[in-house]
Amino acid sequence: MTTPTEVAQRRAAVRRFAAQKLSNRAIAERLGISKDTVRRDLEAPEVSLRELVAERAAQTDTAVSQACAAAQSAADMRPAYVITDEATARRWHSDLRAAAGQLTALADQFADYYLFARSAMDGAEC
């Protein structure tokens, strides 16, 4: 899958070559893309990398907020104390462990990039 950054870079290259009066076919050959992709890139409105990054941050903020809300909702239900059949209990346990693992991995990634997260993991105050 092509990332927004890669698309922005490709579109910039397409526009640069088009400004040099290269044909769509020549641009496609140079960039290893189809003529249709060149045409679509030239027709696409110019979006700055800053706008793409801001959009990605907003989408991620929504996803993180939803994940936190879902976790809080599940915690509020206290599933370990709900009477249910064994198959459902096993599924809940497995699903919660898997989700906890994914969320822990995401949180740990912050420690690789953001200093405040590393300090928080060491028990220091933020």
The secondary structure of residue 82, as a DSSP letter, is S
pLDDT of 73-82, one tens digit each? 999 999 999 9
Q: Tell me the torsion sign for CA atoms 55, 61, 64, 70.
A: negative
Residue 104 pLDDT level (bands cut at 50, 70, 90): very high
Task: Classify residue 4 by burial, with Cβ atoms within 10 Å: 0-12, 13-18, 19+.
Answer: middle
How far apart are the C-alpha atoms of 66 and 23, rounded to whole Å? 46
pLDDT at site 95: 97
The gap from C-alpha 49 to its chain's centroid, in whole angstroms, comes to 15
pLDDT at site 117: 66
pLDDT of 12-22, one tens digit each? 999 999 999 99
